[in-house]
């Protein structure tokens, strides 16, 4: 304790309620139906959406709605020690919670028997990749023209050196006391995902949740700006 916050500032000079720098670009891939690229601190994330298209084999189909299938994958070069390629417990879990968060805003009932595939590739990982992945995937879904109630946005808060902070970087995630990633539907103010590592008092939890919602709302603004830039570019061409 006492190493991560000095004179009220964090190791990268951020204030407790400050996000890392975030850049979002919509429509970066030519062949995907929708795509997005997100740089979030030291994270680099690419999301690609395919569909809705017929789900095969047929016995996997749902006659009442589309199946939303998000796949979170960490590139082997995305972390310091080469990561063994392919799905592991962690990426299977993140894929599942991401699919559920995104499915809840998509009008899946419009596409019976279909599948919407969302590929999330973590090219560089520096903590907070599930939030960056959901954020990128949501922009890619909007870019693909998939009808949605809202565009989900995500952000984490946590606790380091006894203080509640926004958007943990790697050292803070590893040595901090808690990490609380969330995803929200900003318009309806629903919470679509909430996970927590570590421990917080109830009061700290409320404070962290409020901070994470504030962060997510700012991320939402950046998502909409990215989509507007994309459509402006298409109009000009
Ligand atoms: P998130 O990336 O959503 O914060 P975690 O809390 O599970 O998810 O992971 C925090 C960070 O730990 C990741 O962003 C990454 O930098 C690192 N990490 C995760 N999995 C591995 C792995 N298999 N090998 C090395 N580093 C990893």
Q: What pLDDT is recorded for position 9?
A: 97
- Report CA-CA distances (Å) from 155 to 60, 82, 144: 32, 26, 23
pLDDT band at 233 (very low <50, low <70, confident <90, very high): confident
| Cβ within 8 Å of residue 7, ≥6 positions away | none
In a domain, 1, yes or no: no
The residue ranking higher by pLDDT, 236 or 38, is 38
78 lies in some domain: yes
Distance CA 199, CA 208 (A): 11
Backbone angles phi, psi at 182, to 5 degrees: -135, 160
pLDDT given at position 125: 98
Domain total for the chain?
1
Q: pLDDT at residue 3 above 90?
A: no
Averaged pLDDT for residues 47-57? 97
Give the model's pLDDT for residue 2: 66
Q: What are the tens digits of pLDDT across the range 83-119?
A: 999 999 999 999 999 999 999 999 999 999 999 999 9
User: Which residues does a 6 A CB cutoff place in the pocket of ligand 1?
Assistant: 79, 83, 90, 125-130, 170, 173, 179, 181
Q: What percent of the chain has pLDDT over 90?
A: 95
| pTM (two decimals) | 0.97
153-199 pLDDT, tens digit per residue, is 999 999 999 999 999 999 999 999 999 999 999 998 899 999 999 99
Instruction: Scan for tokens 């700006």, then name that residue.
Output: 225
Closest C-alpha to ligand 1, atom 11: 127
pLDDT at residue 203 tops 90: yes
Q: Which of 144, 148, 225 is nearest to 192 (CA)?
A: 148
Could you tell me if 183 and 193 are in contact, meaning their C-beta atoms sit under 8 angstroms apart? yes
Q: What is the DSSP letter of 234?
A: H
| Within a domain: 8 | no
Asked if residue 5 belongs to a domain, the reply is no
C-alpha distances in Å from residue 94, one per residue of 21, 23, 73, 84, 134: 23, 22, 9, 17, 10
> Do the beta carbons of residue 36 and residue 137 sit within 8 Å?
yes
Residue 99 lies in a domain: yes
45 inside domain: yes
Supply the range of the domain harboring residue 42.
Answer: 13-236
Q: 234 pLDDT exceeds 90?
A: no
Nearest CA to ligand 1 atom 9: 127
pLDDT at 1 over 80: no
CATH code, domain carrying 214: 3.30.230.70
Q: Is 4 helix (H, G, I), strand (E, B) or coil?
A: coil
Domain assignment of residue 6, yes or no = no
Q: DSSP code of 150?
A: S
Q: Is residue 2 part of a domain?
A: no
Task: Report the mean per-residue pLDDT for the chain.
Answer: 97
- In the chain, the percentage of residues whose pLDDT exceeds 70 is 99
Q: Provide φ and ψ at 114, rounded to 5°.
A: -100, 170
Which pLDDT belongs to residue 237?
A: 83
Instruction: Tell me, in angstroms, the distance from the centre of ligand 1 to residue 127's CA.
Output: 6
């Amino acid at each position: 304790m006492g190493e991560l916050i000095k004179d009220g500032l964090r190791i990268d000079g951020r204030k407790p309620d400050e996000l890392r720098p975030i850049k979002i670009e919509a429509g970066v891939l030519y062949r995907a139906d929708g795509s997005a690229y997100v740089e979030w601190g030291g994270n680099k994330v690419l999301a690609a959406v395919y569909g809705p298209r017929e789900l095969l084999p047929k016995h996997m189909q749902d006659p009442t709605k589309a199946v939303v299938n998000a796949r979170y994958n960490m590139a082997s070069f995305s972390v310091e020690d080469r990561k063994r390629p392919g799905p592991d417990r962690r990426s299977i879990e993140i894929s599942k919670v991401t699919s559920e968060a995104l499915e809840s805003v998509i009008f899946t009932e419009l596409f019976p028997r279909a599948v919407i595939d969302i590929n999330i590739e973590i090219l560089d990982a520096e903590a907070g990749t599930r939030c960056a992945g959901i954020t990128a995937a949501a922009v890619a879904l909007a870019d693909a023209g998939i009808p949605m109630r809202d565009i989900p946005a995500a952000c984490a808060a946590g606790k380091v050196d006894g203080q509640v902070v926004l958007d943990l970087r790697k050292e803070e995630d590893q040595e901090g006391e808690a990490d609380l990633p969330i995803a929200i539907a900003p318009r309806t103010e629903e919470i679509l995902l909430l996970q927590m590592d570590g421990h917080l008092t109830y009061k700290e939890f409320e404070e962290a949740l409020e901070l994470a919602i504030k962060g997510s709302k700012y991320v939402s603004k950046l998502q909409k700006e990215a989509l507007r830039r994309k459509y402006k570019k298409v109009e000009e061409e």
